[in-house]
């Protein structure tokens, strides 16, 4: 099993200092990083520098059209952009959200497009689909629908633990019950981060807390993912919780400390699983 972490200046600095050792820098981690990807020449220079240290784990293929809910995805898909992104990043596989624009009129649109992408990149280690979080995604939150999408597309599962928590709230299902209903045996990657609740609001991608670590331990009883990704980091604090913020240029020392702690805890959890099931 490999460990990935969202790329930030903080993550790279920790790696350079020998404080953390990870297998992949996951990119993009936050929305402001998409701007770099829109300038492919600049992104390739960035990748050349970063991949000299570790490969980049791509999440999506921005700016190549890749909305799996689009009925025109096959016509719109830009093979040149996608090819440059994959080659420059040295990503082992690809992961996609089930939709970027909203609910499709027919779930077969997502299935057909996901199968198209899976077949296009059949030589990669995996092509996986990440599930959603909030109520606006309707049926796409339901475990039976997630299972159908994976079964019929042939894609692997990208399990996001905080998304599962939010989806369980929306569906009024106990969190651990919801987790157990998901197609965990198809999991190829896990995104793990914490969340903060205030009233009816939930803010994710915060420091991993005990409930999230326990959820990770639970799902690892049912699957053996290729990658666990620490998907930590926010560039805003909309609930006023006092979380450290990440930016393009400044180094946040508190965030560095939290990244280090999380990487160490994830490695401890997986080592324990390895000893128990060896």
Domains of the chain: 2-277 (3.20.20.150)
Candidates 242, 240, 151, 160; CA nearest to 193 is: 160
- The pLDDT value recorded for residue 116 is 97
- The pLDDT value recorded for residue 274 is 65
- The pLDDT value recorded for residue 200 is 86
Residue ranges, the chain, pLDDT below 70: 273-278
Q: Retrieve residue 169's tokens.
A: 């709230």
CA distance 183 to 45: 38
Longest dimension (CA), the chain: 50
pTM of the model: 0.96
> Which residues is 62 bridged to in the sheet?
none
- The pLDDT value recorded for residue 56 is 98
């Amino acid at each position: 099993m490999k460990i990935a972490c969202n790329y930030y200046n903080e993550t790279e600095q920790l790696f350079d200092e020998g404080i953390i050792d990870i297998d992949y820098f996951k990119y993009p981690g936050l929305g402001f990083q998409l701007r770099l990807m829109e300038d492919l020449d600049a992104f390739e220079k960035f990748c050349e520098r970063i991949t000299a240290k570790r490969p980049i784990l791509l999440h999506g293929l921005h700016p190549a059209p890749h909305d799996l809910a689009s009925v025109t995805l096959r016509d719109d898909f830009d093979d040149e952009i996608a090819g440059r992104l994959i080659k420059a990043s040295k990503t082992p596989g690809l992961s996609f959200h089930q939709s970027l624009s909203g609910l499709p009129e027919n779930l077969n649109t997502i299935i057909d497009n996901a199968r198209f992408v899976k077949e296009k990149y059949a030589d990669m280690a995996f092509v996986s689909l990440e599930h959603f979080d909030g109520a606006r995604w309707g049926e796409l939150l339901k475990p039976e629908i997630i299972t159908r999408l994976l079964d019929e597309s042939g894609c692997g599962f990208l399990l996001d633990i905080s998304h599962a928590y939010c989806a369980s709230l929306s569906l009024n299902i106990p969190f651990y019950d919801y987790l157990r209903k998901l197609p965990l045996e198809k999991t190829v990657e896990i995104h793990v981060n914490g969340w903060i609740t205030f009233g009816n609001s939930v803010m994710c991608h915060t420091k991993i807390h005990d409930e999230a670590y326990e959820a990770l331990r639970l799902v690892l009883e049912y699957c053996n993912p290729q990658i666990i990704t620490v998907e930590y980091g926010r560039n805003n604090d909309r609930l006023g919780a006092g979380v450290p913020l990440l930016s393009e240029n400044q180094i946040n020392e508190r965030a560095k400390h939290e990244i280090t702690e999380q990487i160490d805890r994830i490695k401890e959890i997986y080592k324990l699983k390895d000893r128990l099931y060896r």
